[in-house]
Amino acid sequence: MALGKLVLPGGALQDVLHLHDVLARVSLARLCHAISRARALDERPDIKSQFNSVLYQLLLDPSDRVCFEAILCVLGKSDGTERTEERAAGWYRLTREILKLPEAPSVGSKGSSADSIDTSKASKDKKTRRPQPLIKLVMRRLESSFRSFSRPVLHAAARVVQEMGKSRAAALALGLQDIDERVNVNAFSDALDSQDQDFNENPYADGARKASAVSSATGGRDTIASVLASLMEVVRTTVACECVYVRAMVIKALIWMQSPYESFDELESIIASELSDPAWPAPLLNDILLTLHARFKATPDMAVTLLEIARIFATKVPGKIDADVLQLLWKTCLVGAGPGGKHTALEAVTIVLDLPPPQPGSMLGLTSVDRVSASDPKSALALQRLVQAAVWFLGENANYAASEYAWESATPPGTALMMLDTDKMVAAASSRNPTLAGALTRLQRCAFSGSWEV
């Protein structure tokens, strides 16, 4: 097929690899990804492998723009579609596939100089061309990018980490059996390196080899978990960047890279510390809340923890939070949290009702980060809308969260709760269903002491 000849030595696409045009190499990455995933070529795995080889070579491109685009293609984020299966396959490719660099072609005119190369240099060149795990190449490049002083580079690198987290979450959600982050990343390249001594293969046809038969041994330091931990340590240091937009992207990357089995204390501490900075614009904060919402949809088991993080926004910056965004997060988590998480979901709503009312500003115009100044009409109005949304949500969903409805009586046969006097009725309701009783108490408090708008 003529398509396969394009990526062979001397082919047109091989020439694009060495063009100085960055956008041309970016387009090459997208083209290679599209062809390697084409359903029409399922019967020609050799052609797919050839284009995969070119795509993986672009991970070594000196341009951050080209390298990041190649990483996104590997992760399954090359177009606007967000298919969970493709994202999960992207994480599998990143953690399991390797890059086998093609041998450099010999030049006849330089035969005499080639003979003068000593043995040590030849062995060093052979070592640099040994198969490299994709994840190791990507992590090294990202760590280098996060040490840059360029804010656009830092922002782009954080976005790549965020997309990496999305693919990782998709793989965990689908329960891929072959995903073990304790595996040694060098095991796959070592296995292929040993096979190369027995087989004479075309390096372009097998540029990317899967070593699924390799045992998931935990020996060695470079495990998937260890290289991820090393990367995230560098990512967390980027929170110190002066640019609030870079810090926002870093927080979103941390949210997506957070594992359900790890502690959330450090993430909560970072977010709480950042929200103490008054420089954060409201749209950026709401964008992070939408990230929490998307993270829950990808991993419903994290509902309770994500609601705990959302509570930080409600208590730290209530005047900057869009009530509709927070209400969307409440609703989604309440429905998907399961029976055990409904009480926690409801508590995340009721905490908004405990927020202090707008306080008069001081002579210097300074107020606590946990309070909203009455001298700031915009923030005071936003807080009022937030409380109104919490009251409405509580009234609409308290019965659902408490798993008790007016037409379903949980009292023993022969006992009518409504026939009791007021004090006994309240006591009976509180002892039987504390969640519902707490919601009713909050609503009563708002009805008697809240503003007329509430």
> Token pair of 330, please?
């409440």
- State residue 427's pLDDT score: 59
Please report the pLDDT score of residue 197 as a whole number.
Answer: 46
DSSP code for 223: B
pLDDT score at 283: 92
> What pLDDT is recorded for position 310?
85
Closest listed residue to residue 251, CA positions, set 229, 263, 225, 269: 269
**Predicted local confidence at residue 35, as pLDDT:** 87
Distance of alpha carbon 90 from alpha carbon 80, whole angstroms: 15
- The contacts of residue 323 (CB under 8 Å, 6+ apart) are 382, 385, 386, 388, 389
The one-letter amino acid code at 76 reads: G
Categorize the per-residue pLDDT at 214 as very low, low, confident or very high, splitting at 50, 70 and 90: very low
CA-to-CA separations, 440 to 261, 331, 444, 450, in angstroms, rounded: 35, 19, 6, 15
pLDDT band, residue 404 (cuts 50/70/90): low
pLDDT at 180 over 90: no
**Residue 359 in 3-state DSSP?**
strand
pLDDT tens-digit profile of 335-374?
Answer: 777 766 677 777 778 777 777 766 555 434 433 445 554 4
User: Tell me: the pLDDT tens digits for 307-341?
Assistant: 888 888 887 888 888 888 888 888 888 877 776 66
Is 70 exceeded by the pLDDT of residue 403? no
Three-state DSSP class for 40?
A: helix
Q: Is residue 88 predicted with pLDDT exceeding 60?
A: yes
Per-residue model confidence (pLDDT) at position 406: 47
For 406-449, the pLDDT digits (tens) are 444 455 544 454 555 555 555 555 566 666 677 777 777 777 66
- Sole residue written with tokens 């900057």: 320
| Residues comprising the chain, all counted | 454
**pLDDT above 50: residue 216:** no
Q: Which of 68-77, 233-242, 257-266 has the lowest mean pLDDT?
A: 257-266
Residues 106, 114: Cα–Cα separation, whole Å: 9
CB–CB of 76/95 below 8 Å? no
Q: What pLDDT, on the 0 to 100 scale, is given for residue 222? A: 78
Written as six digits, the tokens of 190 are 């070592």
Task: Tell me which residue of 321, 348, 326 sits closest to 337, measured CA to CA.
Answer: 348
Contact by Cβ (8 Å): 383, 324: no
Q: Which pTM value belongs to this model?
A: 0.77
Task: Give the residue-averaged pLDDT of 297-301.
Answer: 85
- What's the per-residue H, E or C state across 320-352? HCCHHHHHHHHHHHHHHCCHHHHHHHHHHHHHH
Q: Check whether 160 has a pLDDT greater than 90.
A: yes
Lowest mean pLDDT among 61-65, 378-382, 387-391: 378-382
